[in-house]
């Protein structure tokens, strides 16, 4: 997730801000959803581009983000409906507003700078903090509970699957050996110990922290459900744009878009179609859109961002 730009309430522009707005093509009288509201940067762009009558539903599970976004979007309060909730439940939120369908949906996956920079949330290993990592601290289990209850094999599998960490087994072994681990710095030091103190351009704990965060928040499960329901929620010619930062997420988005853009999804070796599947979207981005050099220099956290989009048939 990106932050509002300088002069808009934060240090950086939201990631792929201009490309997101261009591909959604917001219009007055249109209805839009920012399913990962964050601090409200993308939402403000959509509201501005759809003025004077465009409406936006902003969803987030993070209470801190919601408070910031409400303040940031206060001047649009008549057109902006801010709700606590997951984009995986977009259908129920639209039903509550009485919206049959929407003209555009944006999903900006991953962490916001705001979450990383709030030390006590436990997302960053640069400052000592409790190991939490939940987007919504009121639900689910924390990173500390996960690491101190899962068995070694489950931890190793999780770090490998979500972090693609080559030393996942050694890290899992150390975690179990050192239980209980309670702080971000304890975990970061443990990973550094596995790497024998060697640091590259990226801190060796980065992949492990990413993997644990994704597991704690069930991010891939949420994405899978959210993609399905988002396409169902689009009006004819409505657009869905997804910004991902992780290869697993990007692969999931790409494969989902490819599948939903085809009439038949039967195995290639099958002589005739029996699936009855009909294409529901057309792909707008044959290759993902990525930040230019200028954006990466301004906001290094955008370097791995990829934007893919489809249009409802």
Q: Domain spans of the chain?
A: 17-114+219-312, 136-214
12-50: b or e for each residue (b if 16 or more CB lie within 10 Å)? bbbbbbebbbebbebeeebbbbbbbbbbbbbbbbbbebb
Q: Token pair 């639900």 is at which residue?
A: 139
**Cβ atoms < 10 Å from Cβ of 237:** 12
d(CA 20, CA 15): 9
Q: Token pair for residue 99?
A: 């919206």
CA atoms within 13 A on the CB side of 219: 29
Give the model's pLDDT for residue 118. Answer: 60
Residues of the chain with pLDDT under 50: 1-11
Query: Running DSSP on this structure, what letter comes out for residue 4?
Result: P
Q: Select from 127, 230, 216 the least CA-distant residue to 163.
A: 216
Order of strands across the sheet that contains 31-34: 80-84, 55-60, 31-34, 102-108, 234-244, 306-312, 281-283
**pLDDT value, residue 202:** 80
CA atoms within 13 A on the CB side of 99: 23
pLDDT tens, position by position, 152-161: 999 999 999 9
Confirm if 238 and 312 have CB atoms less than 8 A apart: yes
Q: Please report the pLDDT score of residue 267 as a whole number.
A: 84
What per-residue confidence (pLDDT) applies to 5? 36
Read off the pTM. 0.87
pLDDT at residue 44 in the model = 96
CA-only gyration radius of the chain, Å: 20
The HSE-up count of residue 146 (CA atoms within 13 Å, CB side) is 27
Do 210 and 246 contact (CB within 8 A), yes or no? yes
Range 17-114+219-312 has CATH code 3.40.50.150:
yes
pLDDT of residue 36: 94
Please check whether residue 39 is in contact with residue 118, taking contact to mean a CB–CB distance below 8 angstroms: no
- The predicted structure's pLDDT at residue 113: 57
Q: For position 115, what pLDDT does the model report?
A: 57
CATH top-level class of 136-214: mainly alpha
């Amino acid at each position: 997730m990106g932050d509002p730009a300088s002069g808009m309430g934060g240090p950086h522009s939201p990631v792929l801000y201009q490309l997101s707005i261009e591909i959604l093509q917001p219009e007055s009288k249109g209805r839009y959803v920012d399913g990962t509201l964050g601090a409200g940067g993308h939402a403000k762009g959509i509201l501005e581009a759809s003025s004077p009558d465009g409406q936006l539903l902003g969803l987030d599970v993070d209470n801190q983000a919601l408070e910031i976004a409400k303040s940031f979007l206060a001047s649009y309060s008549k057109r902006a409906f801010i709700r606590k909730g997951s984009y995986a439940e977009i259908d129920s939120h639209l039903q509550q507003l009485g919206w049959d369908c929407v003209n555009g949906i944006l999903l900006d996956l991953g962490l916001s700078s705001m979450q990383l920079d709030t030390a006590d949330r436990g997302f960053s290993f640069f400052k000592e903090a409790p190991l939490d990592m939940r987007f919504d601290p009121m639900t689910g289990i924390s990173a500390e509970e996960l690491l101190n209850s899962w068995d070694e094999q489950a931890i190793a599998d999780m770090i490998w699957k979500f972090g693609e960490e080559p030393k996942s087994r050694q890290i899992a072994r150390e975690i179990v050996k050192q239980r209980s681990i309670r702080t971000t710095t304890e975990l970061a030091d443990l990973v550094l110990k596995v790497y024998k103190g060697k640091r590259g351009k990226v801190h060796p704990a980065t992949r492990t922290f990413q993997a644990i965060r994704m597991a704690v928040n069930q991010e891939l499960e949420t994405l899978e459900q959210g993609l399905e329901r988002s396409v169902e929620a689009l009006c004819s010619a409505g657009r869905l744009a997804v910004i991902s930062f992780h290869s697993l997420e990007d692969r999931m988005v790409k494969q989902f878009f490819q599948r939903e853009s085809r009439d038949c999804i039967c195995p290639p070796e099958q002589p005739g179609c029996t699936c009855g599947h009909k294409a529901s979207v057309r792909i707008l981005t044959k290759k993902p859109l990525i930040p230019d050099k200028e954006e990466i220099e301004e906001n290094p956290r955008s370097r791995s961002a990829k934007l893919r989009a489809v249009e409802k048939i």
